[in-house]
A and B are shown apart, each in its own frame.
Chain A
């Protein structure tokens, strides 16, 4: 077969058109959606490693929106006494959150600050290391989760966590939940619970409840392995503190100053 310039151009054009075929095909495959009535409408949010940044310059000390939204979304009981208290996100005075970063002459603005504190979803989590049943574990995307089904309430993780981020249900929490959210289970007596970075919301394509609830946009949630994410941009441009970073737990909640 002899080929001239005209034949060559025809073949080149046809080959170029063939390359376009895969771009046309995906819409056909997208038609197969989960069939169940409760199927998720949005795509799950995925990341290499989830982390949170708390902008202390934007967070106001007297606001409780994030706490209310989280505790409502996760059926956290309000037991009304500090001894039995169950909490996922709460506020602490700045000197308690960063004991190593304050001194006797720290400014009033710093001492009056009450940063929100939650599970740090450590990259090197001591709670996971000590859990005898594997009830608490680290997901590949960095979230440290509780599998309530496997928790035997031994409280070793409570002792291992240097941040006090874990709570145990000393009593049945059901009667103490102000408004039950039917989409999230409650816990039972003798089960440990803590912040789960809203993994159940991420699976439905939603950002964590606290992040959505914050009116001042002081909470930023994102993928720290993505160099173009909002959180990475903040961490590159702002000074960030991590709670008791010297312990080597590699906490993934960053406090921006």
Chain B
């Protein structure tokens, strides 16, 4: 079988591959680094042991599931107390517990969510600290 206009076709394929992979070689894979999350808030500075409701690794990977469980327990079952794996007890509340410590939503929540491109809609209803003066 003979391929007519071999040069043009091959050049076209090469140009296509080059164009299609622009994001991979132009942006420079691995150039961006994960955002630095700020833990510097007045409430966290006052904590003796700087520990969230669970280990940092667990919070990083499972905070969505924890918040969903809190939401369902509080809203559907009226159970507003969460017992952590180490036995400490917390009020299951996004604005009342999470954001009391992490009062810097822009430097904590938003930085990472912007980086990974997720848009949680928690704060379309729940009110972030600093949004209004009490």
Contact = CB atoms under 8 A, between A and B. Distances in A.
Interface of A: 32-40, 44, 137, 139, 145, 147-149, 180, 182-183, 185-188, 199, 203
Interface of B: 43, 71, 75-76, 78, 80-81, 88-91, 93, 95-97, 100-101, 121, 124-127, 129, 131-132, 134
Contacts of B129: 182
B101 A182 contact: no
A182 B132 CA distance: 7
B131 A38 contact: no
Contacts of A149: 71, 75
A182 B134 contact: yes
B95 A199 contact: no
Contacts of A33: 89
Contacts of A37: 43, 97, 100-101
A36 B95 contact: no
B2 to A, nearest CB: 61
A181 to B, nearest CB: 8
Given A147-B75, A147-B76, A38 B127 contact: no
A33 B89 CA distance: 8
Contacts of A199: 78
30 contacts: A33-B89, A34-B89, A34-B91, A36-B91, A36-B96, A37-B43, A37-B97, A37-B100, A37-B101, A38-B91, A38-B93, A38-B96, A38-B97, A38-B100, A39-B89, A39-B90, A40-B80, A137-B76, A139-B78, A147-B76, A148-B125, A149-B71, A149-B75, A180-B132, A182-B127, A182-B134, A186-B125, A187-B125, A188-B121, A188-B124
